[in-house]
Chain A
Amino acid sequence: MPALFSEGFLLGLSTGFYCLAACLPLLAPYLLAEGKAAWKFNFAIFLQFLGGRFAAYMLFALLASLAGKAGRYALPAQLLPACMAACGLLMVFLAAARVSAGGAPCLLKKDLSPWFKRLPLALGFVTGINVCPPFAAGFIRLLEMADIPKGFAYFGGFFGATSLFIAPVLLGTPWLGRRANEIGRLTLLLAGLWYSFLGLKGLLVN
Chain B
Amino acid sequence: MEPTETPTQRAPAAALFAALVFVPVLFFSSVIAGREISRLYALAWALFAGGIAYAIAATGRVSSWRRVFFSTSALAFLVHFKLGLAGKAFDPTCFKDTPYCHIAMAPYFLNYLYQQYLALMSAGWKLWGPLTLGAVWLFVTLALGRGWCSWACFYGGIDDGLAALPRRPLLRLGSWALRLRDLPAALLIFFMLVSLASMLPVFCLWFCPFKVTGTFLDAGGWQRTAQHALLYSALAALLLGPLLTKKRIFCSYLCPFAAWQAFWGRLNPFRVTLDPALCTGCVKCARACPMTAISCAPGGRPEVSAYCNLCGECLEACPGAGFKYTLFGLELPKTAGFFKDLFTAKFFYVFSALTLGAAFSSLWAPAALRDIVHWVR
Contacts and interface: CB of A to CB of B under 8 A. Distances in A.
B338 interface: no
B182 A186 contact: yes
Most buried by A among B194, B197, B222: B197
A183 B197 contact: no
A179 B178 CA distance: 13
A28 interface: yes
Contacts, number: 55
B197 A179 contact: no
Given A183-B189, A190-B186, A103 B179 contact: yes
A182 B179 CA distance: 10
A135 B179 CA distance: 40
Nearest to A179: B182
Interface in B316-347: none
Interface in B196-228: 196-197, 199, 221-223, 226
Most chain B beta-carbon neighbours within 10 Å: one of A103, A184, A186, A201: A186
A25 B195 CA distance: 9
A201 B222 contact: yes
Interface in B255-302: none
B189 A205 contact: no
Interface residues of B, number: 21
Contacts of A29: 189-190, 193
A25 B194 contact: yes
Contact of B197 (A21, A32, A197, A205): A21
Contact of B193 (A28, A103, A183, A201): A28
Contacts of B180: 105
A25 B197 contact: yes
Contacts of A205: 221-222
B32 interface: no
A22 B187 CA distance: 18
A190 B196 contact: no
A25 B226 CA distance: 21
A184 B185 CA distance: 9
Given A25-B197, A103-B179, A183-B185, A191 B190 contact: yes
B183 interface: yes
Interface string B106-146: 00000000100000000000000000000000000000000
Interface in A146-190: 179, 182-184, 186-187, 189-190
A180 to B, nearest CB: 9
A187 B179 contact: no
Q: Looking at chain A, what size class is its interface with the partner chain? A: 20 to 34
A58 B324 CA distance: 62
| Majority SS at the chain B contact face | helix
A104 interface: yes
Contact of B190 (A22, A105, A194, A201): A194
A28 B189 contact: yes
Given A183-B189, A197-B226, A104 B194 contact: no
Nearest to A18: B197
A104 B176 CA distance: 10
B197 A22 contact: yes
A24 interface: yes
A21 B182 contact: no
Nearest to A106: B179
A183 B179 CA distance: 11
A90 to B, nearest CB: 16
A10 to B, nearest CB: 18
Interface in B170-185: 175-176, 179-180, 182-183, 185
B180 to A, nearest CB: 6
Interface in B6-32: none
Contacts of A189: 186
Contacts of B175: 103
Given A201-B222, A205-B221, A21 B196 contact: yes
A183 B183 CA distance: 7
Given A25-B190, A205-B221, A205-B222, 12 more contacts: A21-B199, A28-B189, A29-B189, A179-B182, A182-B182, A183-B182, A183-B185, A186-B182, A186-B186, A190-B186, A190-B187, A191-B193
8 contacts: A17-B114, A21-B197, A29-B190, A186-B185, A187-B186, A187-B189, A194-B194, A197-B226
